[in-house]
Copies of this chain bind each other. A is one copy, B any other.
Amino acid sequence: VIPARAGFDLVVTTDALVEGVHFLPDDPLDLVARKLLRVNLSDLAAKAAEPFGYFLTTSWSPRCGPSERSLFAKGLAQDGEAYALALLGGDTVSTPGPLTLSATLLGWVPTGALVKRSGARPGDRLLVSGEIGRGALGLKARRGEIEDPGGAFAGHYQLPHPRLELREALRRHASAAADVSDGLVADAAHIADASGLAVTLELSAVPVPSGARDLAELLTAGDDYEIVCAASAGSAAALIADAAALGVRMTEIGGFETGAGVRTLMRGQPLELPRSGFQHPL
């Protein structure tokens, strides 16, 4: 039972991970547990919500014996503590199939302070935190397809960093937000669709890791867990400054206008990208 908290609304989000689809069979289960919490925490971050607790469904596959389960529990405990997130309940079952995990996270927002997907207005600027493409490059690195000195990309893929630190800045300055889980272009389009607007992205402005080659792939893959958001022309600079003060780079990459759909430009010239979002190519 969640006692009512005066002056706060509850935000609820659910995300599932399936072995062989969303994580690799040889990913250590403590990292998988932490990723499960973090992909959901990223959803709370996009809503500018304060993490509270979670409900967990674990469908154990036959390969998960006591040592695998214990490693998984260790990961849960570690990030539960790091993010002050309480395990409130759940269900544990067996499956003859792959390990399947689902978490429902609860977070609090002060009444009226929720940052919605649907709040963008014509003329709002489009901004994104951090760098885009680290999720896609991390998956390639985990599969040995690219060099990854120091393991930074693989580390981001296994253990993304939810942008909870941006909560206050988003509440103050953003009119709409989403996390980048389906791919930057698809998630920007989600905001535009929900707001009943069109969105234009200037691809050359999108910050990507240095040396990255296939821009189209990076911008349409997922698992970045950055924040893509809308802010009025008057608020964008303040949002960038507040984020910078927290050590987070926030970059203006486009804007919203009346209409529908997503338009991608490369230095002002139309350049079409696939718009499908992340298809989990494992």
Contacts and interface: CB of A to CB of B under 8 A. Distances in A.
Interface string A96-132: 1110101010100101001000000000000000000
A2 B9 contact: yes
A18 interface: yes
Contacts of A94: 18, 21, 280
A20 B90 CA distance: 20
Oligomer copy total: 2
17 contacts: A1-B10, A1-B114, A2-B9, A2-B12, A4-B111, A12-B55, A14-B89, A14-B90, A17-B93, A18-B93, A21-B95, A59-B100, A61-B97, A96-B98, A97-B100, A100-B100, A104-B104
Contact of A1 (B11, B57, B95): B11
A57 B14 contact: yes
A213 interface: no
B91 A15 contact: yes
A16 interface: yes
Nearest to A61: B97
Interface of A: 1-18, 20-22, 47, 55-57, 59, 61, 88-91, 93-98, 100, 102, 104, 106, 109, 111, 114, 280
Nearest to A98: B97
A16 B97 contact: no
Contacts of A15: 91
Contacts of A5: 4
Task: Give the residue among A6, A98, A111 with the most B Cβ atoms within 10 A.
Answer: A98
